Structure 1
Amino acid sequence: MRGLRRWWDDTAGGLPATFWYLWSGLLINRAGAFALLFLSLYLTAARGASPSLAGLVVGAYGIGGAAGTLLGGVLADRWGRRATLLAAHLTAAGLMAALAFSRHLAVIAVLAALVGVAHSMPSPAFVAAIVDVVPEARRSRAFNLQFWAFNLGMAVASLLAGVLAEASFLALFLVDAGATLAAAVVIALKVPETLTRRPAVTPRAVVGRRPGLHTALTDRTFLTFVGLTFLLAVLTMQTSTIMPLAMRADGLRPSAYGLVVALGGALIVAGQLFVPRLIEPYRRSTVLAVSTGLMALGFGTLTVADGLPLYLGAAVVWTVGQMLAAPPNAQINADLAPPELRARYQSVFYLTFPAASFVAPALGGLSLEHLGERHWLVVGGLGLVAAAGHLLAGPRRERRVAALRAESERPVGVAR
């Protein structure tokens, strides 16, 4: 019992109550966010859309997501984290209910794009609020718990979605809307506004300009990190875009693909809470290099994979890499952001994921068609490039974080 308590203290101890309410809202939201998992099936089975038209509608959701990420970052820094979270959740719940009763494909497409905006707006605000309330020494653990909650919620959503979709598509959308509304209630009742106004602390490269979204978009140290994260996201997207095609080419059934994906999710849910203590003694750039290297090894192994056992073994390797990368990746992203631009920086960072969700299938499909199994050597090579990039960029990032910390701690009115 004493050992269990010590493990819990190392994993989640010392985190403020506001964090746990944010965490609960995220978990509820993710566990209920299952309607979009079946949007393409709903459009083809219930609304008579062709597969190509269904793909365009789902693509509209993705485009809305990119816009919502940037909008959420700007609003979270201007309105506040709580106001942005509430506006996004309430809007998403209303749009999802409207989507449940819509019949015309054009209306559904517009609503899907708007839902994409509303679903993506909370991400920068969530992370910015966590950074606002969690002491720096505990942030790695907080981000680790956030990643764990996200994956646990998605696992629950996947299970519930299948059951509800077989029973009623209407119920699928309405329960999704209800879960989003429940998350909004938790935020409204328990999460205070965490944004505090303070004198601007901007990187030297942009001193003299009025701080805004352009600050993040012209911050070379930050953009280098975003670029490396984009490579990591491209690797991660292989599991949901290109790997199913490769497994089918190897003669494996869809159930085999489901088993590989389920194994990764199970590993994250079972093991993610142990990661902070494991990586704590090491520099973040080193952890990211090792984690990205493991992902490169896992995906590179698929070059010789022709049966389920090798796919499962490779999945273990790349999932461990993902688990190790999650806390330092989020921590570095938070550390590089000036406090008054925290959510804007988050929004630029989160653009890597919709970008990767487009690039991975578009270029990956061509690569697989022309290179065959050698496609996985290219993917592994990208992972090794990212690993080397983290080692090379690490010292500059650390100097930048130290400079930002010194500036933020300088008493107001003291010249730089």
Structure 2
Amino acid sequence: MSVAGLKRAARESVSGLPREFWWLWTSTLVNRLGAFVATFMTLYLTLERGYSASFVGLVVALHGLGGVVSSLVAGVLTDRLGRRPTLMAAQVSTAFSVALLGFMEHPAAIAAVALLVGVTSNASRPAVQAMMADIVRPEDQVRAFALNYWAINLGFAVSATVAGFVAEYSYLAGFLGEAAMTLACAVLVYVKLPESRPVRTEAEKAAAEPEVGLGTVLRDGRFMGVVGLSFLISLIFMQGSFGLPLAMGEAGFSTADYGLVISVNGLLIVLLQIPVARFVEHRDPQKLLVISALLAGYGFGLTAFGGSVWSLALTVCVWTVAEIINSPTQMALVARLSPLHGRGRYQGMYTLSWAGASLVAPLMAGFALQHFGAAWLWGSTAVLGTVAAAGYWLLMRGLTEEDAEVAAAPASEQPASENPAAAPTAA
């Protein structure tokens, strides 16, 4: 492709998205540039503090439990208080709790504050995703979610490198640095982002339209099917962080080998997320989700045959492509299925699927490796991928023609009560 062609492709990838989206995107990037706790908490507790592996496992589990709790609570607050105040409160409290964690020394205090960090750091996700669904037109949402996911991974790749050097100097500096970056995000949200929560029209008030509660979400069979499938996919992808390093360690690979292998994941996402998003943007989501589930399951399944660093890196290439396809497509599907005045609760339930998987995935990896061996772990991911693919195929078949037409129609042609691209209200 010529230079002019590359410039045109880049321009098309970012054009047509509202200004508010780019401030939200910037907030995401800054937040991930400051990531430290999630990356280095295990090393901090073992190398710096000298705690046992069992205690570290407890702390990591409590951090994940905090994410499970906050997913639902933050979803409710996003609908009741609004996206902007929920996001600001989450970021300010995250900055405080992360800074506090750096000063904790007693084991009980460390465990308690780690739980608090898990609650606060995950509370912003439903608000961010609901706001993105509010301000981006339906036909642009796959691209918008892909760009946001790209920012997450770009920020994480940079922060992991920089934070590694910071940790050699001072772990406390890393905690305080993340707190400062998160606080900067809160300031950015306050200054640049207006509230985007849709306001009920007079007609909706006159019709006494019922409020959307958590019970409404739980009774939505199609959406809960998406949540269940997201949980299965999350179990697969998280084996890159839990099962893969354990299995490689048992096979005699070094930590440097694992670092080299897993770095392929971040590199490919940074390089391919945007061009792949342009390729899949207007394609059949049913096929994309089925294909991504199969690539994820069997990509990890191929790990059983990886006998070298380079062969393992090739397997990472397979499931990374699945991740690149699945993430924006699935998030756009969640936005499509979420009712206008219940997006926070729906996004909170969707976030719960990932938070729950972060608790189960380490247990799944440890149990399978200890009792059955690595081959069984990778075989189980292939099974999960097959089940998820079948689930997506059946679930998407259930979408009515009306749903498909609404999802595909330009924003101007959609009913006002279903148009998530309505202009944000003033804060």
Q: Same fold (TM over 0.5)?
A: yes
Tell me which amino acid in the other structure corresponds to 1:74.
V
Distance in 1, Cα, partners of 2:199 & 2:312: 50
Give the corresponding residue for 1:340.
341
Q: Counterpart of 1:226?
A: 227
| Partner of residue 415 from structure 2, selected from 389, 409, 412 | 409
State how far apart, in whole Å, the 1-side matches of 2:365 and 2:210 are: 40
Q: Within 2, Cα distance between the matches of 1:371 and 1:272?
A: 36
Deviation at 1:379, TM superposition (A): 1.1
Q: Does 1:140 align with 2:146?
A: no
Partner AA of 2:396 in structure 1: G
Which residue is 1:82 aligned to?
84
Instruction: Give the one of 65, 68, 74 matched to 1:66.
Output: 68
Where does the alignment leave 5 or more consecutive residues of structure 2 unmatched? Answer: 419-427
CA distance in 2, matches of 1:345, 1:94: 27
Identity score, percent: 40
Q: Where do 1:2-401 residues align within 5 Å?
A: 2-198=4-200, 210-372=211-373, 373-399=375-401, 401=403
1:44, 1:281 → 2: CA distance? 47
Q: Which moved more, 1:352-361 or 1:323-332?
A: 352-361
Deviation at 1:410, TM superposition (A): 6.4
Q: Distance in 2 between matches of 1:123 and 1:411?
A: 24
Partner-residue secondary structure (3-state), 2:241? helix
Count of residues in Structure 1 that have an aligned counterpart in Structure 2: 408
Q: Could you list the per-position Cα deviations for residues 12-31 of structure 1 after superposition, in whole angstroms to 9, with x for gaps in the alignment?
A: 11111100000000110011
User: Whole-Å Cα distance in 1 between the matches of residues 112 and 74 of structure 2?
Assistant: 19
Determine helix, strand or coil for the equivalent of 2:279. helix
| Contact residue 65 and residue 359 of structure 2 kept, 8 A | no
Q: In the TM superposition, what whole-angstrom CA distance separates every residue of 1:71-99 from its partner, at most 9, and x where no partner exists?
A: 11111111111111111111111222222
Determine the structure 1 residue equivalent to 2:425. none
Separation in 1, partners of 2:216, 2:241: 33
Change in Cα spacing, 1:200 to 1:59, as seen in structure 2 (3 Å) is farther
Separation in 1, partners of 2:109, 2:371? 38
8 Å contact kept, 1:65–1:119: yes
Say what the alpha-carbon RMSD is for the aligned residues.
2.4
Deviates more, 1:398-407 or 1:48-57: 398-407
Partner secondary structure for residue 306 of structure 1: coil
Could you give the per-residue CA deviations for residues 12-64 of structure 1, whole angstroms, max 9, x where no partner exists? Answer: 11111100000000110011021232223323344343322222222221111
CA distance in 2, matches of 1:336, 1:172: 39
Q: For the structure 1 residues 331 and 14, does the alpha-carbon distance in structure 2 shift closer, same or farther, using more than 3 Å as the test?
A: same
- Tell me, yes or no, if the aligned pair for 1:250 and 1:307 is still in contact at 8 Å: no
Offset of residue 399 of structure 1: 4.6
**Aligned partners of 1:95 and 1:311: how far apart in 2?**
37
Check conservation: 1:201, 1:338, Cα contact below 8 A. no
> Quick one: which amino acid aligns to residue 403 of structure 2?
V
Residues 1:45 and 1:312: Cα distance change in structure 2 (over 3 Å): closer
TM-score, length of structure 1 as denominator length: 0.92
SS of the residue corresponding to residue 306 of structure 2 reads coil
Residue identity matched to 1:151: N
Structure 1 unaligned regions, length at least 5:
none
- Worse-matched range after superposition: 45-54 or 225-234: 45-54
Contact 1:93–1:181 (Cα < 8 Å) also in 2: yes
Q: Could you state the TM-score of these two structures normalised by the residue count of structure 2?
A: 0.90
Residue 297 of structure 1, CA deviation: 2.2
Which of structures 1 and 2 has the larger relative contact order (alpha carbons within 8 angstroms, sep 6+)? 2
Q: Which amino acid aligns with 1:182?
A: A
CA distance in 1 between counterparts of 2:339 and 2:238 reads 29
Aligned AA for 1:30? R
Q: Please state whether the residue corresponding to 1:101 is helix, strand or coil.
A: coil
Residues 201 and 236 (structure 1), Cα distance of their counterparts in 2 relative to 1, 3 Å cut: farther
Whole-Å Cα distance in 2 between the matches of residues 398 and 36 of structure 1? Answer: 41
Report if aligned partners of 2:61, 2:359 keep a CA contact under 8 Å in 1: no
Measure how far apart 1:218 and its partner are: 1.7
Shift of 1:351: 0.8
User: What secondary structure sits across from 2:307 in the alignment?
Assistant: coil
Hey, what does 2:422 align to over in structure 1?
none
